């Protein structure tokens, strides 16, 4: 589908389903997710949010200037079905690949995505946020813009950690960057008895890896914590992971917001997960990497 026909289809669906979205979807959806769902239905920022986004986004063009390296390596997302663990039960990461620093200007959440994350955390009232996948610190900056939020974020690439540090320190001092592979950092946080109200899983986009990290972070999560899964329409198997996660017994509620899926960890006494699906009101995104 071309970009124009995609936007056209979405605009028509918005107009046709506008009343139903409000009277039906929002009526059933728990209130804490309304700000995020509204942004996904009508992608417009308030003037205050535009000011926040402008402040955060001003760093993007600075990345080549503040970087201490010309080439920066990051861990790529592995192909479907390639997941393996080592003898310790740690996930093997995707390939570590170098690219020019300029290529990293565009990586990291853009403003609408960042604001969506901000609205989820703010709406839910989460204060202790854990992130798997720091990159250049854009999602992190949107998280720590929320009053009272403390972020712990994990990134395997040292050069990316340095850039993210310069990015996020402009916003708030309430963050900790761990330069480790995800499993190593999770081990350390478990030893420290750390607890979080929210985790954003945004690295190693592959079904088994996603299920692995969702399981690994469990001892770190407080009662009623939320899990935000990024890119649930990135590949067929990321979408399978999402469908599998929705119906695990640990989650009582799940919200499909297309670019992310959010699950609430509550004792699921009925044994059924309530799924709130934006796909009932807007055209569902195509899988980004078919046959990946
Ligand atoms: C999609 S980017 C994160 C984007 C960032 N959360 C944002 O929205 O601005 C994923 C990051 O995770 C890192 N990564 C992937 N697999 C990893 C692993 N197993 N351990 C540590 N870092 C990893 C990559 O180097 C990459 O920078």
pLDDT of residue 258: 97
* Predicted confidence (pLDDT) per residue in 98-139, tens digit: 999 999 999 999 999 999 999 999 999 999 999 999 999 999
Domains of the chain are 3-63+103-280 (3.40.50.150)
Looking at residues 71-100, what average pLDDT do you find? 95
CA of 251 to the centre of ligand 1 (A): 25
What are 5's two structure tokens? Answer: 């026909």
Secondary structure E strands in the chain:
71-75, 96-100, 128-132, 150-154, 175-178, 196-201, 221-230, 251-256, 260-265, 274-277
Which residue is associated with the tokens 């990461």?
A: 93
Torsional class of 81: left (φ above 0), alpha (ψ -120 to 50), beta (otherwise):
left
pLDDT of residue 4: 72
> What CA–CA distance (Å, rounded) separates 46 from 23?
22
3-state secondary structure of 199: strand
| Residue nearest atom 7 in ligand 1 by C-alpha distance | 108
Task: Verify whether ligand 1 is closer than 6 Å to residue 108 (CB atom).
Answer: yes
Percent of the chain scored above 90 by pLDDT? 88
Per-residue pLDDT band for 292 (boundaries 50, 70, 90) equals confident
* Predicted confidence (pLDDT) per residue in 7-43, tens digit: 888 899 899 999 999 999 999 999 999 999 999 999 9
CA of 91 to the centre of ligand 1 (A): 14
Return the higher-pLDDT residue of 43 and 2.
43
* Predicted confidence (pLDDT) per residue in 234-286, tens digit: 999 999 999 999 988 789 999 999 999 999 998 767 778 999 999 999 999 99
Looking at residues 202-206, what average pLDDT do you find? 96
Percent of the chain scored above 70 by pLDDT? 99
| Residue nearest atom 26 in ligand 1 by C-alpha distance | 135
Question: Lowest mean pLDDT: which of 66-80, 151-165, 184-198, 213-227?
Answer: 66-80
pLDDT of residue 1: 57
Return the higher-pLDDT residue of 78 and 256.
256
């Amino acid at each position: 589908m071309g970009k124009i026909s995609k936007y056209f289809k979405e605009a028509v669906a918005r107009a046709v389903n506008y009343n139903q979205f409000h009277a039906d979807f929002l009526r059933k959806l728990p209130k804490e997710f309304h700000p995020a769902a509204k942004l996904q239905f009508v992608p417009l920022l308030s003037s205050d949010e535009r000011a926040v986004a402008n402040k955060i986004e001003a760093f993007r063009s600075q990345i080549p200037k503040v970087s201490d390296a010309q080439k920066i390596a990051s861990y790529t997302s592995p192909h479907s079905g390639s997941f393996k663990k080592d003898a310790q039960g740690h996930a093997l990461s995707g390939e570590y690949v170098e690219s020019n620093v300029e290529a990293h200007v565009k990586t990291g959440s853009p403003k609408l995505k960042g604001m969506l994350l901000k609205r989820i955390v703010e709406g839910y009232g989460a204060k202790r946020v854990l992130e798997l996948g720091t990159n250049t610190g854009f999602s992190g900056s949107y998280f720590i813009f929320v009053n009272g939020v403390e972020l712990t974020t994990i990134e395997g690439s040292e050069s990316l950690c340095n850039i993210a540090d310069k990015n996020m320190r402009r916003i708030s001092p309430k963050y900790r960057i761990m330069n480790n592979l995800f499993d190593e950092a999770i081990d350390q946080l478990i030893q420290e008895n750390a607890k979080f109200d929210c985790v954003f899983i945004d690295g190693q986009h592959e079904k088994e890896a996603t299920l692995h990290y969702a399981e690994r972070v469990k001892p770190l999560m407080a009662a009623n914590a939320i899990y935000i899964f990024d890119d649930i329409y990135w590949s067929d198997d990321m979408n399978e992971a999402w469908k599998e996660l929705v119906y695990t017994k640990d989650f009582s509620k799940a919200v499909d917001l297309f670019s992310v899926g959010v699950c609430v960890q509550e004792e699921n006494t009925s044994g059924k997960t309530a799924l709130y699906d934006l796909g009932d009101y807007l055209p569902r995104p195509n899988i980004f990497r078919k046959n990946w």
